[in-house]
């Protein structure tokens, strides 16, 4: 049975990615960070034998190591890691000459860039004998050559750092049989969530979470004849520089 660890699986894209893997018969270790949400438990009822909910904080090496121990005990090996968790930090388009919260940059960098590095380092030993594939959700927001924004974005800057980290890890690990998928999900709508007893729409977008997940998972699973090249594909199959 194929096995996958998915970070940021509490809701939205991550939850829908879990659903797509489960429908294909994969054993899913779904990383839960927002403990008060119950969407994962509802999905688990549909796939009690395939879905394992695991507490997972991508900023903590100890948390990731604990998940690795669970995977080793329950499955013995791991085929794929999907890093979907994201830290947005400061969302505003801030004036570089103005005042803004630098702590937001640390949050974004720690989850988006360093989180990916922690996952790769920790799960590599379990992936020997498996599919040996790392799938990372990135964004055009981190692509320097096509950047159109004029504000300071902790999210965008952290995704740029992530893309560089992925290139370096690819250079080291691809010759050892590891493969990578970099995925740009597009502008995804966030569904309504409960906040203080009221339903709140977080933000709009072009795609629903299930649409981008249905595009992502086939890209993650399918093998390529050109695994020696690295490219970022979006949910419509278009290639982006990264």
Q: Got the DSSP string for 197-238?
A: TEEEE----SB-HHHHHHHHHHHHHS--TTTTS--EEETTS-
pLDDT attached to residue 156 = 86
Measuring CA to CA, which residue among 149, 133, 144, 228 is closest to residue 183? 133
**Tokens 């949400």 -> residue:** 37
- pLDDT averaged per 10 residues in sequence order, the chain, 242 residues: 96 94 98 92 97 97 98 97 87 62 85 96 95 93 75 82 95 97 81 52 68 94 95 89 78
pLDDT attached to residue 90 = 61
Query: Strand 192-195 relative to strand 179-184: parallel, antiparallel, unpaired?
Result: unpaired
Token pair in block for residue 211:
């649409």
- Of all residues in the chain, what percent are helix, strand and coil, respectively (each to 5)? 40, 20, 40
Phi, psi angles (nearest 5°) of residue 58? -70, -10
Three-class DSSP category at 94: strand
pLDDT attached to residue 21 = 98
**What residue ranges define each of the domains in the chain, with the CATH number in brackets?**
3-240 (3.40.50.720)
pLDDT attached to residue 96 = 65
């Amino acid at each position: 049975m194929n096995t996958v660890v998915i970070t940021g699986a509490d809701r939205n894209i991550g939850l829908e990615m879990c659903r797509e893997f489960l429908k294909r018969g994969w054993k899913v270790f779904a990383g839960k960070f927002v403990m008060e949400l119950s969407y994962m438990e509802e999905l688990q009822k549909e796939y009690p034998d395939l879905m394992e909910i695991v507490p997972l904080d991508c900023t903590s090496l100890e948390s990731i190591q604990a998940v690795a121990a669970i995977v080793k005990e329950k499955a013995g090996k791991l085929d794929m890691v999907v890093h979907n968790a994201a830290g947005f930090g400061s969302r505003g388009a801030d004036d570089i000459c103005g005042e803004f919260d630098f702590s937001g940059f640390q949050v974004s960098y720690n989850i988006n860039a360093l989180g990916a590095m922690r996952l790769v380092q920790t799960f590599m030993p379990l992936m020997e004998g498996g599919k040996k594939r790392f799938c990372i959700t990135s964004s055009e927001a981190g692509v320097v050559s096509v950047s159109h924004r004029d504000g300071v974005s902790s999210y965008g800057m952290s995704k740029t750092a992530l893309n560089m980290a992925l290139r370096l890890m690819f250079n080291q690990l691809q010759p050892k049989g590891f493969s990578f998928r970099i995925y740009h999900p597009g502008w995804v709508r966030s569904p309504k969530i409960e906040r203080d007893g009221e339903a709140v729409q977080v933000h709009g977008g072009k795609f629903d979470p299930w649409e981008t997940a249905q595009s992502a998972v086939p890209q993650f699973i399918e093998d390529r004849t050109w695994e020696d090249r690295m490219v970022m594909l979006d949910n419509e199959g278009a290639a982006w520089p990264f």
